[in-house]
């Protein structure tokens, strides 16, 4: 019986699955970087190094702003 391999022997062409797995790894790393940014801005805000407005500005470059509601409390 022959072994089933994900790629034919000697084939170095990435498959769609390989590509998607690489993209998912990159997305996971980007998410961790965003989480680090959120944590750092939160700590800076907590100890008074930045104002709330500055904190929001700092997060505008990171897609993390979509996870919070930077509105003034009513």
CA dist 69 and 72 (Å) reads 9
Sign of the CA dihedral running 13, 18, 66, 59? negative
- pLDDT band for 4, please (50, 70, 90 cuts): low
CA dist 58 and 64 (Å) reads 10
CB 39 within 8 A of CB 31: no
- The reply to whether the predicted model has a pTM over 0.75 is no
Going from N- to C-terminal start, the domains of the chain cover 36-66
For 52-61, the pLDDT digits (tens) are 999 988 888 7
For 16-33, the pLDDT digits (tens) are 899 999 999 999 998 899
């Amino acid at each position: 019986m022959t072994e089933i391999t994900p790629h034919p022997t000697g084939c170095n062409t990435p498959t769609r699955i390989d590509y998607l797995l690489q993209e998912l790894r990159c997305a996971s790393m980007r998410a961790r970087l965003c989480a680090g940014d959120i944590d750092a801005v939160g700590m800076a805000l907590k100890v008074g190094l930045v104002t709330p407005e500055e904190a929001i500005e700092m997060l505008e470059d990171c897609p993390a702003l979509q996870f919070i509601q930077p509105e003034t409390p009513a």
